[in-house]
Amino acid sequence: MLEWINRINLLWTFVFLLAGHALLYYSLGNADWFTLALLAALVDTGVVAVIQTLGRITRKQSND
């Protein structure tokens, strides 16, 4: 699973998460849907980036 997460492009991850969150918040009728979608996508992409970093550090330490 970590190998798959390490191969994910963060820009495309952000774009797809933004679209998904925008659709969700717009369909729920939230007046501030774009701001919420943007913040949620940034947080989710940040989590993926941290997981990628930890996976790469762990892989690098196991190779040494």
> Residue 14's Cα: distance from chain center in Å?
6
Residue type at position 14? F
Structure confidence by residue, pLDDT tens digits, 3-35: 788 889 999 999 999 999 999 999 999 999 999
Residue type at position 35? T
Contacts with 55 (C-beta within 8 Å, 6 or more apart), sequence order = 2, 3, 5, 6
* pLDDT greater than 90 at residue 58: no
Predicted TM-score (pTM) of the model is 0.85
3-state SS assignment for residue 32: coil
CA distance 40 to 29: 16
